[in-house]
Amino acid sequence: MDYNFRRIPRINYLTINPMKTLNLLLQALKLGFSLDANKKIVPYFLGCVGWISVASAIVPSLEYLEFVGGAVFFVFMTSLIINEEHAHNGILPLPILVKRVQNLFVVTVISTLIIGVGLLLLVVPGIVASKKLIYSGIMVALGKANASKALNMSKSLSNVNGYKLLGAMILLTLIVALLAGVIQLLSTTEAFVALGGLGTILMIILKLISAWVTYTITNHMLIIAYNEAIALKDQ
């Protein structure tokens, strides 16, 4: 898996380049569907998120558990890809894992509140806040900082390529929303209902694909952009 950014030209941090945003998304999609890049990640995905997606296709109320499983999976995946010193093949000691997941939830709640207030005010403050806080999650997932420090450190790091990452995430969110809409539409058609058990199996497969795109490709994109930002900031 190539996350090497040793030779990256300097960029104008204030410029939002649509092609660079699209390129980041395409890089993440390519990695997200590469067998070689994901053979070590699949077991963590199935253990943290996959089984919940399957179960929620049968019991929809279980869908909310995906957020918990997604947070644990995010910590595992980032540790595995970046070869974090405390991890062995992505496996972290339980006390470290619990602490990082807790910090991730704290960062997520605080970021959501700040961004939500910004969007309610004039929309633009919410977009700026989204950019400034975009790396706080990966910093706590990697144990680089606690929740409060991660929020502050993200503001500085996001000046490098925050808007590019934010734009790519918005594009991916639209793809996921479209996929979810197709799944919902299919599940209500008479032809789909008539399939019976086969329809349930098809729904499970579609839910797994949706979950994979939502979590794994988003994580790939965030890790690519984070490594790029670190490399450029150190130049």
CB pairs under 8 A, 24+ apart, for 103-106? 103/140, 103/146, 103/147, 103/150, 104/71, 104/74, 104/75, 104/137, 104/140, 104/141, 105/71, 106/140, 106/147
Tens place of pLDDT per residue across the chain (235 aa): 444 433 333 334 444 678 888 899 888 888 888 887 788 888 888 888 888 877 776 777 777 777 788 888 888 888 777 665 555 555 677 788 888 888 888 898 999 899 988 888 777 888 889 999 999 999 988 888 888 899 889 988 999 899 999 999 999 888 888 877 877 777 777 776 677 777 777 777 877 888 888 888 888 899 899 989 988 876 6
4's CB contacts (< 8 A; 6+ apart) are none
Q: Of 145, 144, 135, which is closest to residue 221 (Cα–Cα)? A: 135
Q: Of 93, 28, 14, which is closest to residue 227 (Cα–Cα)? A: 28
Hey, where are the domains in the chain? 24-233
